[in-house]
């Protein structure tokens, strides 16, 4: 691989013109044509030499070229739009002739199995990161959904993370990128901030101006790297932690006690929300954006304790209750029992 030399290739801009490819608005496509910027993104991804790289949404292949120049052992690209197949095949042929290996998967990244890497690359979770990287200039319409799904996989140590703490380098619209790294007390701290920081160390590397993309989006773009934590900031299951975090930030400017109330049926919300804040040792007048990941973790522990004492409250859905209150809450849960637990 040290002798890998790519042959001269048409520019991405020339390929887009040659194949008459236009960005599709409904797929939120924006092409990054500037080679200096694609090289800068890949530099922030870390050492790729002799590694395995999964690129999400390569499009015409701008980032792909910069990846290939770092001499990875294998590149796997997943692209939903079949129109890019000729340009990707051209890159694949050049990379293969130079001694590399490249697989092209035409499919939706949200629907494929990501067990794409060899078992011999596996590292223990406490060891150094494996030679596996996920890289993508993500469409804005799927970026938040994807990162939540991948954080879930990290928490479960499944998919690429069954082989260790694989790193990610992804792009998001600037506001989302800044939220991912926002610390407690930051005005833009939100559910996404907490979820990302519970299982990874997200770092905002730099901002790409929107004018660098074709067509130009209405926003700038942030490049964020994620390194899974050796010791996550929570031991709770992803579903529980996400549920509590989502409810906490449902009214992000209100006192935390108002958010906690939405976790419990109307009849018991006052007593149980106070009990939950006391068990977690959280001031009920704290506002959601002021909470640390550790404090939200304690709230999860308190909620889990209350659910173990009174299993029927676990299925309560605040939004569904606005339409109709399930009869089970008026029959299965005894007011006296719940009241006694919070005395």
Residue 225 has phi, psi (to 5 degrees) of -105, 150
Per-chain mean pLDDT for the chain = 87
- CA nearest neighbour of 106 among 86, 85, 136, 87: 85
- CA nearest neighbour of 59 among 84, 95, 38: 84
pLDDT value at position 321?
57
**C-alpha span between 247 and 250 (Å, rounded):** 5
pLDDT of residue 268 exceeding 70, the answer is yes
- CA nearest neighbour of 291 among 181, 186, 204: 186
**C-alpha span between 35 and 337 (Å, rounded):** 66
pLDDT of residue 230 exceeding 80, the answer is yes
Question: The dihedral of CA 331, 335, 337, 341: what is its sign?
Answer: positive
We find that the CATH architecture of domain 12-228 is: 3-Layer(aba) Sandwich (3.40)
Domain extents in the chain: 12-228, 238-341
pLDDT of residue 292 exceeding 90, the answer is yes
Q: How buried is residue 323: exposed, middle or buried, by Cβ count under 10 Å (0-12/13-18/19+)?
A: exposed
pLDDT value at position 60?
85
Query: Which pTM does this prediction carry?
Result: 0.88
Write the CATH number of the domain with boundaries 238-341: 1.10.8.100
The answer to whether 203 touches 213, Cβ cutoff 8 Å, is no
What value, to the nearest 5°, has the Cα angle with vertex 43 and ends 35 and 119?
115
pLDDT value at position 216?
72
């Amino acid at each position: 691989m040290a002798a890998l030399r790519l042959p001269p290739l048409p520019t991405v801009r020339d390929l887009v013109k040659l194949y008459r490819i236009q960005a599709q608005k409904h797929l939120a496509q924006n092409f990054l044509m500037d080679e200096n910027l694609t090289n800068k993104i890949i530099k922030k991804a870390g050492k790729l030499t002799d590694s395995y790289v999964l690129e999400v949404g390569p499009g015409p292949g701008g980032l792909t070229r910069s990846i290939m120049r770092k001499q990875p052992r294998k590149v796997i690209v997943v692209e939903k739009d079949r129109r890019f197949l000729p340009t990707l095949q051209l890159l694949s042929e050049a990379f293969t002739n130079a001694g590399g290996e490249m697989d092209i998967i035409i499919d939706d990244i949200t629907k494929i199995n990501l067990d794409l890497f060899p078992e011999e690359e596996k590292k223990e979770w406490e060891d150094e990161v494996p030679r596996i990287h996920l890289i993508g200039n993500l469409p804005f319409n799927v970026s938040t959904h994807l990162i939540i799904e991948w954080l879930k996989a990290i928490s479960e140590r499944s998919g690429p993370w069954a082989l260790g703490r694989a790193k990610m380098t992804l792009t998001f619209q600037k506001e989302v990128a800044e939220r991912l790294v926002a610390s407690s007390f930051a005005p833009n701290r939100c559910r996404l901030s907490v979820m990302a920081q519970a299982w990874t160390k997200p770092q905002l590397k730099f901002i790409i101006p929107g004018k660098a993309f074709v067509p130009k989006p209405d926003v700038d773009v942030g490049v964020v790297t994620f390194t899974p934590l050796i010791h996550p900031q929570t031991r709770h299951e992803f579903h529980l932690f996400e549920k509590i975090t989502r409810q906490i930030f449902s009214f992000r400017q209100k006192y935390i006690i108002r958010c906690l109330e939405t976790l419990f049926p109307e009849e018991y919300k006052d007593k149980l929300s106070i009990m939950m804040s006391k068990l977690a040792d959280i001031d009920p007048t704290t506002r959601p954006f002021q909470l640390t990941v550790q404090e939200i973790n304690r709230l999860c522990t308190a909620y889990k304790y209350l659910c173990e004492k009174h299993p029927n409250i676990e299925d309560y859905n605040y939004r569904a209750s606005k339409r109709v209150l399930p009869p089970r809450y008026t029959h299965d849960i005894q007011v006296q029992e719940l009241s006694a637990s919070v005395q």
